[in-house]
Structure 1
Amino acid sequence: MTNDAFIEPQPLGVPCPQCGQELLLKKGRYGLFVGCGAYPDCEYMTSADFDPGTDVPCPECKNGTLVQKTSRFGNSFYACDAYPKCKFSVNLPPVAQACPSCDYAILLRKKSAAGERLVCARKECGYKSDLS
């Protein structure tokens, strides 16, 4: 009988977005997660099914890119990788496409029971594409 309560950290070959060290797949008391190999000097961690990046440039600072992160409550969100200098974040997956209504730099992919549509990231705009 094998004991899978503890597994050796597995290198992923992906650099940490905060310090550049290699990220490791680890197992904790709540399941698998990805953490920085430089822990405890760098405390970066995310869920095991994370997306390392989206290639969508940050519309606020124009320097960083939006990456998927997980909140302390287990919810996914997308935030600028230049944090803490830039605190831009959105709850839906971003798309590198300008809003046709207000020309804001990104749109968000919103799924519903009726289908999927793109919506403007600016709440004041209210743009919604047709259902697809």
Structure 2
Amino acid sequence: MSDNFLEPQALGVPCPKCQRDLQLKKGRYGLFVGCSGYPACDYMTAADFDPGTDARCPECQQGKMVQKTSRFGHSFYACDQYPSCRYSVKLPPVAEICPSCGYGLLLRKKTSAGERLICAKDTCDYKSPVK
């Protein structure tokens, strides 16, 4: 056995889909949590699963924004209702309404002058004062 190989380890947590045990597994892009009933049950999530932010998705109004990692290692925030909603942003979302245009999401942007909130809508140019 090599150091890169990892046997699935039971976590003692039931799968939300089928109630079988969830396991910590190693895949092509690193560690993940998957159902022990695979392939009958295809539930899986990231090993460092973040339940999400308190920000709702401004597009579908049903999902919440959760942090994800691309295959290149960059983090981004996307709606947890994927694939029915494909909304995503690169900056951390904040659950506030834009005072300028009324869009339902602001983004936290760090600049050399400090941190500020900007509107997630491309056509709006709202920027909060530097904190």
Q: TM-score range by the shorter chain?
A: 0.7 to 0.9
Q: How far apart, in 2, do the equivalents of 1:110 and 1:14 lie?
A: 38
Partner of 1:58: 57
Q: How far apart, in 1, do the equivalents of 2:102 and 2:56 lie?
A: 15
Q: 2:34 aligns with which of 33, 36, 42?
A: 36
Which stretches in structure 1 are left out of the alignment for 5+ residues? none
Change (3 A) 1:29 1:88: closer
Normalising by structure 1, report the TM-score: 0.74
Aligned: 1:6 with 2:6: yes
Q: How far apart, in 1, do the equivalents of 2:12 and 2:54 lie?
A: 19
Change (3 A) 1:66 1:29: closer
The number of equivalent residue pairs is 126
Q: How far apart, in 2, do the equivalents of 1:8 and 1:73 lie?
A: 24
Instruction: Report the alpha carbon displacement of residue 81 of structure 1 after superposing the two structures with TM.
Output: 1.1
SS of 1:102's equivalent in the other structure is: coil
Which stretches in structure 2 are left out of the alignment for 5+ residues? none
Tell me which moved more, 67-76 or 3-12: 3-12
SS of 1:6's equivalent in the other structure is: coil
Q: Give the share of equivalent positions with the same residue, in percent.
A: 54
CA contact (8 A) 1:12 1:25 kept: no
Change (3 A) 1:57 1:27: same
Instruction: Report the alpha carbon displacement of residue 124 of structure 1 after superposing the two structures with TM.
Output: 0.9
C-alpha deviations, 1:50-74, integer Å up to 9, x for none?
Answer: 4221121111111111111111111
Change (3 A) 1:34 1:95: same
Q: How far apart, in 1, do the equivalents of 2:125 and 2:74 lie?
A: 24
Alignment of 1:1-132 (within 5 A): 6=6, 9=9, 11=11, 13=13, 19=17, 24-27=23-26, 33-37=31-35, 38-40=37-39, 41-42=41-42, 44-46=44-46, 48-132=47-131
Q: How far apart, in 2, do the equivalents of 1:12 and 1:39 lie?
A: 16
Normalising by structure 2, report the TM-score: 0.75
CA contact (8 A) 1:9 1:27 kept: no
